[in-house]
Amino acid sequence: MEQNKRPETMQRITTKELADAFIAEQVEAVRAQVGDKKVLLALSGGVDSSVVAALLIKAIGKQLVCVHVNHGLMRKGESEAVIDMFGKELDANLVYVDATDRFLDLLAGVADPEKKRKIIGAEFINVFADEARKLEGIAYLAQGTIYPDILESFKAAEGKKAVKSHHNVGGLPEDLNFELVEPIKLLFKDEVRVVGEALGLPHAMVYRQPFPGPGLGVRCLGAITRDRLNALREADAILREEFANAGLEGKVWQYFIAVPDIKSVGVRNESRYEGWPAIIRAVNTTDAMSATIEEIDYALLHKITDRITHEVEGINRVLYDLTPKPIGTIEWE
């Protein structure tokens, strides 16, 4: 437990110089810990796992094996970006697993949000464990644990109840008895970002908005269907593109689309056109415990509405969610 406590004397990493010193220290520590053994990492493409990947590539190169599991609930272009950055640019040892069918088959007909989270979390471990068993000579498991995760587990140990089961990745099965490598476990998120940039990761990757582990699974509300999931993915890509064009990327904490399992009547080409509504959610927060609404400019809202209703098959309305947290949570499920 003690090595999981951030020493009071530890300086906040706010500059490139401090980040470089941290990186040099961790490179040495990782090399000393793992020697010539192989290390496995689940690389989601989120900030934390990406920074760990870049740090370990620097420390041990091809001794690191990254596994990217595409659960079919990623945003548009996300898995491709992971392959381009880590597989091609950084020439990492990357295993890409398209497990879309495994996940979507298991989720078919499941409407309860917590059940969906549990299925996604458990299947993620199954897929990852299957890949780990295929690989030879792995002795260590690297994780992008950061200090807020550790503080959260201290809270859980005191018996405080969570609103949602956010921590979707549990432990691996017992036959996979790896030792852990957690090089950023004493860092706060802002420090992880400074370290990521010092490692040469692109700004957009390091300042990427938070994305839940169950991905679009908790934004395709109720029981997930492939057609509604696709509509959600396309609408979300338009929202992100328009926010980027308007200079809002990196300025708004989190912005996304949710698509509920309801249809309304619309009209298209003078004919009845039933479709789902796309709900825009854009919030600001410092700690995700409470959140306020980003006041999106009306011209931008109109543009997004126009594009989504014209370009996305199956969507015939766009709604703007004005609910703060509390009373709403950030996600709809």
Query: Among residues 254 and 305, whose Cβ is nearest to ligand XMP?
Result: 254
Nearest-approach distance from CB 122 to ligand XMP, in angstroms: 13
> Which position among 37, 76, 118, 166 is part of the footprint of ligand XMP (CB under 6 A)?
166
Q: Binding to ligand XMP by residue 110, rule CB under 6 A? A: no
- Kindly tell me which of 20 and 182 has the beta carbon lying closer to ligand XMP: 182
CA nearest to 231, candidates 315, 150, 151, 307: 315
Among 35, 210, 227, 292, binds ligand XMP (CB under 6 A): 210
Window of 58-66, 142-150, 210-218, 309-317 that interacts with ligand XMP by CB under 6 A: 210-218
Using the rule CB under 6 A, which residue among 74, 146, 239, 330 binds ligand XMP?
Answer: 330
Among 81, 83, 288, 293, interactor with ligand XMP by CB under 6 A:
288
Alpha-carbon distance of 142 to 241, in angstroms, equals 33
| Among 61-69, 86-94, 96-104, 213-221, the segment contacting ligand XMP (CB under 6 A) | 213-221
Does position 170 interact with ligand XMP (CB under 6 A)? The reply is: no
Is 193:207 a contact under the CB 8 Å cutoff?
yes
DSSP code per residue over 297-311:
-HHHHHHHHHHHHHH
Task: Give CA separation, 3 vs 7, 35, 89, 136, 309, in Å.
Answer: 9, 21, 34, 30, 53
Subset of residues 241 to 260 that bind ligand XMP, contact rule: CB under 6 A: 254
Cβ distance to ligand XMP smaller for residue 121 or 277: 121
Is the N-terminal amide bond of 324 cis, ω within 30° of 0? no
Q: Which of 93, 145, 168, 309 binds ligand XMP (CB under 6 A)?
A: 168
Name which position in 213, 275, 277, 314 contacts ligand XMP (CB under 6 A).
213
Q: How far apart, in whole angstroms, are the C-alpha atoms of residue 42 and residue 65?
A: 9
76 lies in the binding site for ligand XMP (CB under 6 A) = no
Nearer to ligand XMP, 22 or 211 (CB): 211
CB 278 within 8 A of CB 317: yes
Using CA atoms, how far apart are residues 229 and 221, in angstroms rounded to an integer? 9
Give the 3-state secondary structure of residue 272.
Answer: strand
CA proximity to 168, closest of 271, 44, 57: 44
Residue 329 binds ligand XMP, judged by CB under 6 A = yes
| Residue 273 beta carbon to ligand XMP: minimum distance, rounded to whole angstroms | 31
| Contact (Cβ atoms closer than 8 angstroms) between residue 60 and residue 32 | no
Does position 164 bind ligand XMP by CB under 6 A?
Answer: yes
Q: Is 212 in the site for ligand XMP (CB under 6 A)?
A: yes
CA-to-CA distance for 257 and 134, rounded, in angstroms? Answer: 37
Q: Which stretch binds ligand XMP (CB under 6 A): 15-23, 211-219, 221-229, 271-279?
A: 211-219
DSSP 3-state assignment of 283? Answer: strand
Minimum CB distance to ligand XMP, residue 155 (Å) = 15
Residue type, 298: Y
List CB contacts of 83: < 8 A, sequence separation 6 or more: 68, 94, 96
How many residues bind ligand XMP (CB under 6 A)? The answer is 16
Residues near ligand XMP (CB under 6 A) = 117, 163-164, 166, 168, 210, 212-214, 218, 254, 288, 325, 329-331
